């Protein structure tokens, strides 16, 4: 019975891994990506003032991961734009979300139950892109573990790693929002996922690629749908990171505490200088001394 269940699960995973992505899942990926662009402050005003800049930002949101991966592997960064069907589909979705009369299309796709379906479909594309990125890098660099991880990571993270460049196209400069400094859940999950797919690709993880795609996709769907439905930004990795990071990398608060204590002792040992007298006070003192001498 267990063997039959395992065979059925394996067949399900294989069928899921062979599921075509275009056009349905790609359309869902583009819809969610352009929705996030429209949520950005000033994005709607920019689409009216400069539609071309808005379209470029939308293309970065949809194809930023392919551009970064091509740059890492020494290929033309505009190579994916030769896929006319995907570019036309992404352009049509951008136009409908930003310029549809009465915002009908935007209201439909941003309705929470519908949006959750698109979010789940987007995670299917994300995991498939991570697996494809690792496989592509392994084809060129058979023993380049870090190249596989970097390629899979940028394939899964999408435009998040290019957020500062995308902001420049919108006339915004916020270096403190660097994704590497403040990783969101999809970026962290893509990093951890690409490590798993790299281990699987190099035969250090005894599991088939289809099974890994299936289970990691289910994990991403559950986490991302729950976070979207509850409007939560808390990472599911936070408890594990909170336990492991202080052990291996130290605690941030301890450094700040010692620095504050050192600063406090420094202030105590060196009292502040007396206030400097103003020019009026100096003139008043001079007049008093002259009057005293005259007396």
Using one digit for the tens of pLDDT, what is the confidence trace for 28-74? 999 999 999 999 988 999 999 999 999 999 999 999 999 999 999 99
Q: How many residues does the chain have?
A: 295
Average pLDDT for 210-225: 96
Q: What is the pLDDT of residue 267?
A: 41
pTM greater than 0.85 (yes/no): no
Mean per-residue pLDDT of the chain: 86
**Confidence label for 3 from pLDDT (cuts 50, 70 and 90):** low
| pLDDT at residue 99 greater than cutoff 50 | yes
- Cα angle 29, 179, 254 (rounded to 5 degrees) comes to 140
State what percent of residues in the chain have pLDDT above 70.
83
Cα–Cα dist 106/203, whole Å? 45
Range in 52-61, 221-230, 237-246 with the lowest mean pLDDT: 237-246
Whether cis (ω within 30° of 0) applies to the bond prior to 274 is no
Where is mean pLDDT largest: 73-77, 90-94, 245-249?
90-94
Average pLDDT for 259-266: 44
Q: What is the pLDDT of residue 289?
A: 54
Q: Which residue has the higher pLDDT, 281 or 135?
A: 135
Contact 224, 123 (CB under 8 A): yes
Q: Which residue has the higher pLDDT, 57 or 269?
A: 57
Average pLDDT for 219-242: 92
Q: What is the pLDDT of residue 268?
A: 41
| pLDDT at residue 224 greater than cutoff 80 | yes
Cα–Cα dist 196/169, whole Å? 34
The pair of three-digit structure tokens given for residue 193, joined into one six-digit string: 């996922």
Q: Which residue has the higher pLDDT, 35 or 241?
A: 35
Cα–Cα dist 113/47, whole Å? 27
């Amino acid at each position: 019975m267990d063997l039959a269940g395992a065979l059925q699960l394996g067949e399900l995973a294989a069928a899921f891994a062979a599921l075509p992505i275009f056009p349905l899942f790609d359309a869902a990926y583009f819809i969610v990506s352009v929705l996030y662009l429209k949520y950005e402050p000033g994005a709607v005003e920019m689409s009216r003032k400069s539609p071309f800049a808005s379209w470029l930002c939308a293309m970065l949101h949809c194809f930023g991961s392919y551009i970064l991966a091509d740059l890492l592997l020494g290929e033309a960064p505009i190579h994916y734009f030769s896929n006319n069907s995907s570019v036309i589909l992404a352009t049509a979705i951008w136009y409908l979300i930003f310029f549809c009369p009465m915002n009908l299309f935007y209201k439909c796709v941003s309705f929470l139950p519908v949006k959750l379906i698109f979010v789940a479909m987007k995670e299917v594309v994300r995991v498939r892109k991570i697996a494809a990125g690792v496989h592509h890098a392994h084809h060129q660099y058979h023993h380049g573990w870090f190249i596989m991880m970097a390629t899979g990571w940028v394939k899964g993270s999408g435009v998040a790693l290019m957020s500062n460049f995308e902001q420049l196209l919108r006339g915004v400069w916020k270096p403190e929002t660097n994704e590497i400094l403040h990783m969101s859940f999809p970026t962290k999950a893509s990093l951890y996922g690409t490590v798993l797919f790299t281990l699987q690709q190099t035969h250090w993880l005894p599991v088939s690629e289809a099974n890994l795609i299936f289970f990691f996709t289910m994990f991403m769907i559950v986490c991302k749908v729950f976070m979207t439905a509850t409007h939560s930004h808390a990472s599911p990795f936070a408890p594990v990171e909170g336990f492991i990071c202080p052990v291996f990398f130290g605690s941030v608060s301890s450094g700040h505490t010692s620095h504050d204590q050192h600063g406090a002792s420094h202030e105590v040992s060196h009292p502040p200088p007396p206030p400097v007298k103003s020019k009026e006070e100096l003139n008043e003192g001079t007049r008093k001394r002259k009057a005293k001498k005259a007396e």
